[in-house]
Structure 1
Amino acid sequence: MKKTVFSHVLLCGVGVALAALSAGAQSLLVINQGDKDMSIVDPATGKQVATVDEGVTDVHVHEVAASSDGKTAWMPIYGSTGVGHAGIDGHEMIVVDLASRKIIGHVDWGHGVRPHDPVFDRKRDLLYVTTELDKAVTVINPKTMKIVGQVPTGQPESHMLALSHDGRLGYTANVGPGTVSVLDMVHRKLITVIPISANTQRISISPNDKWVFTSDQTKPQLAVIDTVTNKVTKWVPLPGKGYGTASTLDGRWLLVAVPHTNQVAVVDLNTMQVVRSIDVPKAPQEILVRPDDKVAYVSCSGAGQVAAIDLTDWKVTQTIDAGRGSDGLAWAK
């Protein structure tokens, strides 16, 4: 693997556009797996204004998280392949200064762990990263960038993580086992493992922490987990096999990416039924609801674009050009 500390930055656009993304400005971050870089998008114009090269050759990043002050991005280098497939196992995470758009450091596990999904806990000022081959979620101090602990998931392929809003509980989607692990993030221990299906993908939690959602990869249905009983209490039929999900911040709607139909399905969380579907570019993956609850961004890997959906009239109002294999999203403010 090429050393990430020597990676370089590729800048796009004119000086005026770059100035718009000075420190403190809001920006949308997009991981482009095919180009091995991260797009920085000005959400006001819907234009990519810069890219940060990951500085690697045979491996790539899938997901990204940003610090609460919008100054830093964390990008785990997963490996050379998809979850559950043979390939090169990533062992490090790069740290990006968003103002200068430079890689300023890295965290190295010292062995292959396939680090994947970074989640920042603002309540405790901790960074969590799923580390599949360790069957754990790694705990990192974001100020020192030191590994300070692990939370065991008890399952392989713990790919994505959702946190309760108080940061006390975590939920991982364990892809190959088709399970969800429930974690005590404070005491760093496994609570239970919930069976879902033969294969499951992605995970999110409702704004009131009552429900956890994960997509069955064997049937076009969404599992709804009751966080009190830690059991699947509802299956929501979908127009195709679902993938990434995100709730609107008012708790009324759940958006579900449906890659094979190139749609986003909208679930009414009062009735747990799909009430509409929205056409988006090819192969939607991840969904990010903007902090003002007015727009949802959807990465579409097959098109190398991000669709912006107006959450009032449920229409795509912008199609943002990013890079090949657009996937992980984060909001930096």
Structure 2
Amino acid sequence: DGRTAYVPIYGNSGVGKPGTDGRNIVVIDIAARKVTGNIDFGHGVRPHCVLFGPKDGMLYVTTELDNSVSVIDPRTLKIVGSIPTGQTESHMLAITRDGKRGYTANVGPGTVSVLDLETRKTLEVIPVSPQVQRISISPDDRMAFTADQTKPRLAVIDTATNKVKNWVPLPAPGYGTASTPDGRWLVVALPSANKVAVVDLVSMKVAHMIDVPAAPQEILMRPDGRMAYASCDSSQKVAALRVSDWTVEKLIDAGKGADGLAWAEPR
């Protein structure tokens, strides 16, 4: 309903690196800016990416150290299930619009796990590269995208066959991605280049490049498709990108280490 944020407490280090192992999710009333609840996993799991199931209303969260995606009932704040990914470092998650499939980007193994969210089973593990980061799905659910971290290229996975169908060359290694609602464009963060690339999903080529503040990480598309947002980690900014002409409309001040983005609009 756009009123509550579910914030995973991951730890104090990057994926696969030594550090504290988070074990909880903090529940925040957005309007009041107050903590209203806590979900404790009982042990360190490094919870990271939290998404709502579009059909069942459950919360799905990657729990890396358990090699799983945990299922939480947001009404009771209880953990009601677990879906194995079959891989370590299952860092990010994307869910199809019908709520039936989940895809995790498994960083260190360089794979993508395909999950059946209804039976809560692993369907397949797709080899991609020695290391990957982030994942998103096209609006028609036909393609999943994850960024190779060893070469400047983006893997395009055919969700019908669960195989890498295409590679999109990039000017620099990619990171977070998001499609425009019409499925025409894919916006890709390029952290090492301090740029955002816009891929034409018809030609599968980079069509536009946008300069942004240092170290863009995550990409969020506004629901109306008119704006895209890029969190810029080391610069503590979020760049608001106008889709009509692919320019930076404004920079929004953010906190240290700005990364994950989510859209909340009270209804």
The TM-score by the shorter chain falls in which range?
Answer: over 0.9
Q: Of the two, which has the highest radius of gyration? A: 1
Deviations 1:252-302 (A, max 9, x none): 000000001111101000111111111101000001000111000110011
Instruction: Please state how far the C-alpha of 1:245 moved relative to its aligned partner.
Output: 0.2
| Aligned twin of 1:223 | 155
Partner residue, 2:48: 116
The residue number in structure 2 matching 1:31 is none
Match of 2:153, as an amino acid?
A: Q
Mapped pair 1:212 → 2:144: yes
Mapped contact 2:197–2:210 kept (Cα < 8 A): yes
Return the match for 1:154 from 86, 92, 95.
86
**Aligned twin of 1:87:** 19
Distance 1:112 1:325 in 2: 22
* Aligned counterpart in structure 2 of residue 285 of structure 1, from 201, 204, 217: 217
Describe the SS at the equivalent of 1:79: coil
Matched, 1:246 2:186: no
Q: What residue ranges of structure 1 are gaps of 5+ in the alignment?
A: 1-68
Tell me what 2:236 maps to. 304
Q: Any stretches of 5+ residues in structure 2 without a counterpart?
A: none
Which runs of 4 or more aligned residues in structure 1 lie more than 2 Å from their structure 2 counterparts after TM superposition?
none
Aligned: 1:196 with 2:137: no
1:122 Cα shift? 2.9
Which string of whole-angstrom CA distances, capped at 9 and with x for unpartnered residues, describes residues 86-111 of structure 1?
Answer: 11100001000112110001000101
Conserved? CA contact 2:54–2:97, under 8 Å? no
- Give the aligned residue type for 1:162: A
Query: So what's the TM-score if we normalise by structure 1?
Result: 0.79
Find the partner of 1:175 among 107, 125, 129. 107
The alpha-carbon deviation at position 325 of structure 1 amounts to: 1.0
Q: What is the deviation of 1:156? A: 0.4
Q: In the alignment, residue 107 of structure 2 is paired with which amino acid?
A: V
2:195 is equivalent to residue 263 of structure 1: yes
- Counterpart residue number, 1:102: 34
- The one-character-per-residue Cα deviations of 1:295-330 (angstroms, maximum 9, x if unpaired) are 001100111000000000110010111111111111
Q: Number of aligned pairs?
A: 265
Q: After the TM superposition, which residues 33-112 of structure 1 pair with which residues of structure 2 at under 5 Å, given as runs?
A: 69-112=1-44
Q: Secondary structure at the match of 1:154?
A: coil
* C-alpha contact (below 8 Å) 2:8/2:50 kept by paired residues: yes
CA distance in 2, matches of 1:152, 1:322: 34
| In 2: Cα distance, 1:199 partner to 1:99 partner | 39
How far apart in 1 are the matches of 2:30 and 2:16? 32
Identity of aligned residues (%): 63
Corresponding residue for residue 119 of structure 2: 187
Following superposition, the deviation at residue 121 of structure 1 comes to: 1.3
